[in-house]
Amino acid sequence: MKYSYLFLFLVIFLISVSAQRPWKGNSILGNGSFTAVYSDDARIIERTKTGGVRHFYYGDYTVDYITGTQFRMQADTSAPQYSIIYNQVFAASSSAEFTSGTKAVVTVYPSSFDILTIDIKFTNFKKTDKFVYSFNASKSFTGAKSTSVKNTKILNENRYGSKVVTNEWENGTVLKFSTAGKDDEVSYVGETIEFSGKIPTDSLVR
């Protein structure tokens, strides 16, 4: 009788879990030097109030350097509706649709030289449309190894000729944030680093 009850419990549990598919979760991306936790799952965003790159670790897991990212269109303040794309290997990909009708496919993947690349491919957009992508970049972290940012600068140094924001930490880590558009605008206030600009003619933003 004991085994009958156990079997019945397992059947009920499996039925209730299968009804929740696809299961909510995060993509773990990295290259051996850094690890990024990424998710555009609406159920996670609703619960945690953060999405995109939700965590970013470099070297080890003692300091969380990024606690979320946001993507929107400048003229459309509403958050996009995301649909997860499940056919990616070593990458995370999702489609985003805005109330204006603009659509985008966001793909995030680790590349060489310790770079986490965020590719955004737009469709159904106007030439005057502008995108906004922002990072919640931690300024301090208290844990096994407590540390904080000692210097933040805006530089002109990447290969596309666009601006770069650098966060230099007391522990020696330097994080750089940039886009591929040389005319893109950049600002930082507190822990928010924000890039904005026109959608390129090839509709690809890196």
The pLDDT of residue 5 is 41
pLDDT bracket for residue 29 (50, 70, 90): very high
Residue type, 106: V
Percent of the chain with pLDDT over 70: 83
Digit-coded pLDDT (tens) for 66-95: 999 988 888 887 778 888 787 777 898 889
Long-range pairs for 54-62 at CB < 8 Å and ≥24 separation?
Answer: 54/26, 56/116, 58/33, 58/34, 58/114, 58/173, 58/175, 59/33, 59/34, 59/173, 61/35, 62/143, 62/144, 62/145
The order of strands in the sheet holding 103-111 is: 81-85, 92-97, 103-111, 115-123, 204-205
Predicted structure pTM score: 0.80
Predicted local distance difference test score (pLDDT) of residue 166:
92
Higher pLDDT among residues 171 and 4, named by residue? 171
Summarize the confidence of residues 17-22 as an average pLDDT.
49
At residue 6, the pLDDT reads 40
pLDDT tens-digit series, residues 105-158 = 999 999 878 999 999 999 888 888 899 999 999 999 988 789 999 999 988 776
